Amino acid sequence: MKAAIYIRVSTDEQANEGFSIEAQKRRLLAYADSQDWEIAEVYIDDGWSAKDLKRPEMQRMMKDVSNKLFDVVLVYKLDRMTRSSTDCDQLLKLFEANSVKFQSCTESFETRTATGRLFIRLVADIAQWERENTAERVRFGMEQMVMEGRRPGGPIPYGYGKDETIIEDEAAVLHLLRTIYMGGDGIKAVAVKLNGMGLLRRGYKWTAFSVWYSLDNPYYAGKLRYGSKKANGKYASRKKEGVVDLIFQDSNHPKIFTWEEYEEHKAEMHRRSFTGHSKVREYWFSGVLICGRCGAKMSGRYHQNKRKDGSYNKITSYMCVSRQTGKGCDMPMFRQELVEKLVMEWIEGISLDHDQIKEVAVTKEISPVESQREILLKELEKVKERRKKWQRMYADDLIDESELRAHNSDERQNEVAILAQLDQLPLEPKNESEPLDILFELPDLWAVINDIEKHELILEMFKEIELYTDVVKPHGRKGHFIPAEIKRVVYR
């Protein structure tokens, strides 16, 4: 039987807990030898968290699983592979679909039996519970900071310096922004006017997101805000029953707006939320949805169902283009309300994941300069290949752990240098300086804008949203959403 060994170390501190690369490798090779397994490949993610599956060697292993290059995946402990019950379930389904088994050499479960598969899912659920429990403690600590009048981390808003003093030029732009909005212009029109005047937001263009965020943020009126957007464990509007009340706490930092001004323009935003909706149904997510089954685009469809009373139920859905054109994909249609629910849950799910926050924050859309870009991307591929070579040499005992770490460090420096060159290619700024705060406020913004603005904002924030469901024929689900998930998101 051919076996693949997967090794992961997130920090140097884990070496003190017995999880070093060398320790894992020694135990895994000994276990494979005791089972008379042939080692087909070794995958080592050095310095990567198990918060998701976006790790270079994990992605390579998943691809090799699909290509059936081995019969079993062997790890030191389950948490070396994943700490998410959702990711665990995804991996087990991938393994089962390709007849690949999973085995931990230090824990009494595996996937070669039904009992083993059940137990591993239970363990993954417990790990997920521990992670969410930690998130609750973090949330409590942040709430306490707000109650004490201290800002609970995050970037300092536009208009203020690092010491939280007012930057007069930026404050003047914020006052102008408010004046234009209160004069009757919508949030999109305000952004267009400010950009047309050359009043960029620290070098970035104003967008509808950043205009709305500047008007909605009570920090400019001298108060801190904190609150939960969850009700019964699921995303819900703050207007619905069961949502934890928002906390507004006075702070000592200087104000740009008075509290009366803040309440005035918030009342105007609330008024427009009831009068500004378009009567024409808009496809909110057209242009960004990807079929998780075949990779094709998904396009909007509109149809009506006649009710018993003679009225019509208007339904907006999204269908895989490959299915629509008869190319064989069996992905069912997604109701627009389901996509909306999944997107809001996705945002809620990453709001306390600081590693993922950092990853989203640095994501940029680079304008292609094809010849230079292709050369740099090829160099990146060479770096990846060299990493694989060092790992194979380490697995074959041709180099030791210190040499492997030294080579990996060199390759990371090469990667950083290449990425820096890619970043210097000509590009047009597209994102505001604090995209994450605005991303996390999207559920609130969603409630006060019309259909056309929703579509525009989705296109501004997201490049791709990949949808997936195991369901093929969603019959007998009237009145209920099909079980579905977002597999991948690419931000602009």
> What CATH number corresponds to the domain at position 13?
3.40.50.1390
CA angle 142–241–279, rounded 5-degree value: 105
How far apart (Å, rounded) are the C-alpha atoms in residues 387 and 44? Answer: 9
Residue type, 327: K
Q: State which of 132, 157, 189 marks the end of a domain.
A: 132
* Residue 282 counted as domain residue: no
Query: Does 152 reside within a domain?
Result: yes
Tokens of 330: 């069996």
Q: Do 337 and 243 belong to one domain?
A: no
Residue 251: the pLDDT is 81
48 found inside a domain: yes
Helix (H, G, I), strand (E, B) or coil at 225: strand
Residue showing tokens 């996937």 = 111
Residue 483 shares a structural domain with residue 350 = yes
Is-contact 189 456, C-beta < 8 A?
Answer: no
Higher local confidence (pLDDT), 402 or 71: 71
**Tokens at 326, concatenated:** 């008869």
* Domain match, 397 and 463 both: no
Mean local confidence (pLDDT), 81-91: 82
Catalytic annotation present for 286: no
Same domain, 408 and 260: no
Residue 356: pLDDT band (50, 70, 90) is very low
The catalytically annotated residue of 10, 104, 210, 317 is 10
Instruction: Let me know if residue 143 belongs to a domain.
Output: no
- pLDDT-based confidence at 475, cuts 50/70/90? low
**Model confidence pLDDT, tens digit, residues 362-411:** 443 333 344 566 777 778 888 888 888 878 777 777 777 777 777 777 77
Nearest to 61 by CA among 6, 1, 2: 6
Listed range (79-88, 123-132, 183-192) with the worst mean pLDDT:
123-132
Residue 221 DSSP class: G
Strands 334-335 and 38-46: unpaired
What is the pLDDT averaged over residues 4-32?
77
Does residue 442 sit in the same domain as residue 320?
yes
Same domain, residue pair 442 and 297:
yes
Q: Which domain holds residue 172?
A: 148-275
Contact (Cβ atoms closer than 8 angstroms) between residue 431 and residue 364: yes
Q: 137 lies in a domain? A: no
Residue 211 — φ and ψ, nearest 5°?
-65, -50
What is the SS3 assignment for 17?
helix
Tokens of 429: 């700024």
- List Cα–Cα distances, 234 to 231, 346, 349, 430, in angstroms: 5, 11, 10, 31
- Is residue 226 very low, low, confident or very high in pLDDT (cuts 50, 70, 90)? low
- Between CA 58 and CA 84 the distance in angstroms is 14
Domain tally, the chain = 4
423-471 per-position pLDDT tens digit: 666 544 444 444 555 566 677 677 667 777 788 788 878 889 999 998 8
Q: Comparing C-alpha atoms, which of 447, 467, 466 is closest to residue 457?
A: 447
Residue 247, H or E segment: strand 247-250
pLDDT at position 262 is 92
Within a domain: 331: yes
The verdict on residue 311 lying in a domain is yes
Last residue of a domain, one of 381, 401, 423: 423
202 and 107 both lie in a single domain? no
Residues 316, 399 within the same domain:
no
Residues 19 and 58 grouped into a single domain: yes
Domain identity same for 252 and 155: yes
pLDDT band for position 204 (cuts 50, 70, 90): confident
Q: Write the CATH number for 179.
A: 3.90.1750.20
Specify the residue for token string 């992905």: 331
Instruction: Specify the pLDDT at position 64.
Output: 94
Last residue of one domain, picked from the residues 99, 132, 165: 132
Domain membership of residue 114 (yes or no) is yes
Could you tell me the CA-to-CA distances from 211 to 21, 217, 432, 453 in Å, in that order?
48, 10, 10, 13
Residues 206 and 80 in one domain: no
Under a CB-based contact definition with an 8 Å cutoff, are residues 414 and 383 in contact? yes
Here the tokens at position 7 are 């090794």
Q: Are residues 195 and 54 in the same domain?
A: no
Compute the radius of gyration of the chain from its Cα atoms: 26
Mean pLDDT of the chain: 77
Question: Any residues with CB less than 8 A from the CB of 7 and at least 6 apart, and which?
Answer: 21, 24, 25, 28, 42, 43, 44, 45, 75, 76, 80
User: Is the pLDDT higher at 479 or at 247?
Assistant: 247
